């Protein structure tokens, strides 16, 4: 243990030590400063090295825990003037055992540490190995209470999808930006997936100026505004229409399917108008026709579809390139869902036949697109990619501030979770149920996380690890505007 600072001594309590938990007393002032919740510690049992994380800390002082003494000091002398209160100040740390090393093999801990054992800070090399961090991974920050860089393996983090969960203002978009920066600055030799980001609130505009930063000179970021966005109706199938209009009957869908195949056989540029004409001219039940014309009219007036596609999924999605679909100008959730459905369906289809590179799709406000309770045109494709995307290297990053409203199917398929600050008790309970490796103590710590602090759990790491998200390399052009400063502008206008 030479060189590793000692922290304290294991104590025997009624509940510990067990193979899963132990408590230790921290007496030394220097150790009291070092130890925090989340600090990784180690102790030994013979030739076995047991690693754990401080789950909670309790400070104790017998002179301040006795009501008699406090009451007495209010009538006589003050406590510090007659008692050596500082000598009785100590910490009791509760440690959750993560696992152990024996014969250089990482394994589940099966023996309790011995009472009286010394507890030390974990050796960083051992901790890196233990947590399953990668030297050439995505460096998203620093492991909290340690000097270790939180460098996460690309495949482990994203291949089986990632969920980023937090309250509004908890740092979701910040963490997402950091992950995107890391993905974009990978060297081509390391492999770079194509990235597409569905930006619901226009929070990622600053990424358009990413190439002003020296690390991203060669990086191509394409931001697509509402005016530029175009989707080709020729890629739609009757099933897609029925997702856009969930009330569409089977008969209507069948007739529409026939019309679409006839038009596609004519090899003409397909538009909503041409479909409307074809439906209008085709003989069918008048009720079916009227309904179809109604649906299609609604689609035409959305101005979402034309006969071309922009950005082109087949041509614009390139390795190491980011496409931002800025949906902030759309107020209609129906339209946003259609856009998401369209592009995700196209990406998945082309990825299945390997016409495009591996893609990572970032979906902001994922609970709006794949809600747990409601129907949504985008839910089906999100479920499909969540279930099957891993096989085709088509990954999702679901970002949500209301995990409880996010589809269980989608969330459960995200094998890694980056959980930032969560306050809502329903969301906390839900996260506790859906995120593996989180116990009630860890869950409680989520409420006290600061902005920029997060808990990474699941496939990405061997054990849940608290991370201080690193600073973004490129900052947003605008900081979050304060209510007061924005109101002052209008005061001046009125005057």
Partner 1 sequence: MFEALGNAIRQEQEKLKRIQSWIREFYKLIEKKDLLPQPFTEGHLVHEIPTTMSDITHVAGIDGGIVSEAMTGFDLALYRAVSAVFTGIGKEVKAEYIPHFDPEPQIFFSPSLPSRQEFNRICTLMRLYAEYEVAKLTIERSKVAVIFIDGKVSPLSSDFSKESQSRLIIQAERDVKRIYNELIQVAFDKKVLLCGVVKDSRSREVTKALGSVIPNLTKSEGWDLEFMKMWPYHLGDLQDAVFADTILQQGQRTSWVELSKPSWMERDDIFLQTTLIKILSSDEPLRLEVLSETDADYVDGSKRIALAALNILTNHGMPLALPTVILEADERTKLSSAHLDEIIDQISLTLGIPREQLRKRRHFHSSLSNL
Per CB under 8 A, which of residues 180..239 are in contact with partner 1?
none
Residue choice 5, 84, 191, 425 for contact with partner 1 (CB under 8 A)? 84
CB 181 within 8 A of CB 474: yes
Q: Which is nearer to partner 1, 17 or 170 (CB)?
A: 17
The partner residues of 56 in beta bridges, in order of sequence, read 94
Per CB under 8 A, which of residues 348..367 are in contact with partner 1?
none
Q: Which is nearer to partner 1, 76 or 294 (CB)?
A: 76
| 68 touches partner 1 (CB under 8 A) | yes
| 85 touches partner 1 (CB under 8 A) | yes
The interface region with partner 1, picked from 64-72, 94-102, 146-154, 432-440 by CB under 8 A, is 64-72
Q: Which CB contacts under 8 angstroms, 24+ apart, belong to 369-374?
A: 369/198, 369/336, 369/337, 369/340, 370/398, 370/406, 370/407, 370/409, 370/410, 371/405, 371/406, 371/407, 372/404, 372/405, 372/406, 372/407, 372/408, 373/405
Q: What is the DSSP string of 420-455?
A: -----HHHHHHHHHHSTT--HHHHHHHTTPPTTEEE
Handedness of CA 340, 343, 345, 348 (dihedral sign): negative
Q: Which is nearer to partner 1, 12 or 481 (CB)?
A: 12
CB 405 within 8 A of CB 427: no
Residue choice 72, 239, 246, 297 for contact with partner 1 (CB under 8 A)? 72
Least distance CB 71 / partner 1 (angstroms): 7
Q: Give the whole-angstrom CA distance, residue 254 versus residue 249.
A: 9
Q: Which is nearer to partner 1, 84 or 246 (CB)?
A: 84
The interface region with partner 1, picked from 29-37, 80-88, 387-395, 465-473 by CB under 8 A, is 80-88
Residue choice 14, 74, 281, 482 for contact with partner 1 (CB under 8 A)? 74
The interface region with partner 1, picked from 74-82, 290-298, 341-349, 413-421 by CB under 8 A, is 74-82
Number of residues that bind partner 1 (CB under 8 A): 18
Q: Which is nearer to partner 1, 75 or 281 (CB)?
A: 75
| 485 touches partner 1 (CB under 8 A) | no
| 86 touches partner 1 (CB under 8 A) | yes
Q: What is the DSSP string of 168-215?
A: TTSSHHHHHHHHHHHHHTS-GGG---EEEEEESSSTTGGGGGGGGSGG
Residue choice 64, 83, 310, 334 for contact with partner 1 (CB under 8 A)? 83
Q: Give the whole-angstrom CA distance, residue 419 versus residue 469.
A: 11
Binding residues vs partner 1 (CB under 8 A):
62, 68-69, 71-77, 80-87
């Amino acid at each position: 243990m030479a060189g590793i600072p000692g922290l304290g001594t294991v104590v025997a309590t009624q509940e510990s030590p067990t193979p899963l938990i132990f408590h230790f007393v921290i007496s030394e002032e220097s150790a009291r400063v070092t130890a925090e919740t989340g600090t990784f510690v180690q102790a030994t049992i013979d030739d076995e090295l047991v690693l754990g994380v401080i789950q909670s800390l309790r400070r104790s002082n017998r002179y301040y825990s006795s009501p008699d003494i406090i009451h007495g000091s209010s009538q006589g002398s003050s406590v510090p003037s007659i008692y050596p209160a500082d000598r009785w100040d100590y910490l009791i740390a509760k440690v959750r055992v993560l696992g152990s090393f024996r014969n250089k093999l990482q394994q589940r801990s099966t023996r309790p540490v011995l009472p009286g054992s010394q507890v030390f800070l974990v050796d960083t090399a051992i901790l890196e190995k233990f947590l399953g961090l990668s030297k050439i991974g995505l460096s998203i920050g620093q492991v909290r209470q340690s000097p270790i860089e939180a460098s996460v393996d690309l495949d482990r983090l994203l291949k089986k999808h990632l969920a980023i969960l937090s309250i509004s203002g908890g740092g979701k978009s910040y963490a997402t930006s950091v992950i995107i920066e890391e993905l974009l600055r990978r060297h081509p030799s390391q492999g770079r997936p194509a990235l597409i980001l569905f930006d619901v609130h226009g929070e990622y505009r600053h990424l358009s100026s990413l190439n002003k930063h020296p690390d991203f000179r060669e990086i191509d970021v394409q931001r697509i505004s509402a005016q530029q966005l175009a989707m080709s109706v020729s890629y739609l199938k009757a099933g897609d229409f029925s997702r856009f209009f969930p009330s569409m009957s089977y008969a209507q869908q069948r007739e529409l399917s026939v019309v679409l195949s006839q038009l596609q056989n004519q090899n003409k540029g397909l538009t909503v108008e041409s479909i409307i004409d074809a439906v209008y001219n085709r003989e069918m039940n008048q009720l079916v026709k009227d309904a179809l014309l109604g649906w299609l009219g609604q689609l035409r007036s959305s101005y979402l579809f034309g006969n071309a596609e922009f950005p082109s999924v087949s041509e614009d999605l390139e390795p190491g390139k980011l496409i931002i679909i800025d949906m902030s100008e759309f107020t209609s959730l129906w339209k946003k869902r259609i856009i998401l459905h369209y592009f995700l369906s196209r990406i998945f289809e082309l990825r299945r036949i390997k016409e495009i590179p591996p893609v990572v799709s970032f979906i902001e406000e994922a609970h709006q697109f794949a809600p747990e309770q409601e129907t949504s045109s985008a839910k089906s494709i999100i479920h499909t990619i969540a279930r099957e995307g891993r096989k085709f290297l088509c990954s999702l990053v679901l970002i949500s501030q209301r995990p409880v409203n996010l589809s269980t199917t989608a969330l459960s398929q995200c094998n890694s979770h980056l959980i930032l600050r969560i306050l809502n008790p329903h969301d906390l309970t839900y996260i506790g149920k859906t995120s593996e490796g989180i116990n009630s103590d860890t869950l409680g710590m989520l409420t006290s996380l600061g902005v920029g602090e997060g808990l990474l759990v699941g496939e990405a790491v061997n054990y849940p690890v608290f991370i201080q998200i690193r600073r973004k390399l490129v900052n947003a052009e605008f900081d979050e505007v304060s209510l007061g400063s924005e109101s002052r502008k209008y005061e001046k206008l009125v005057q």
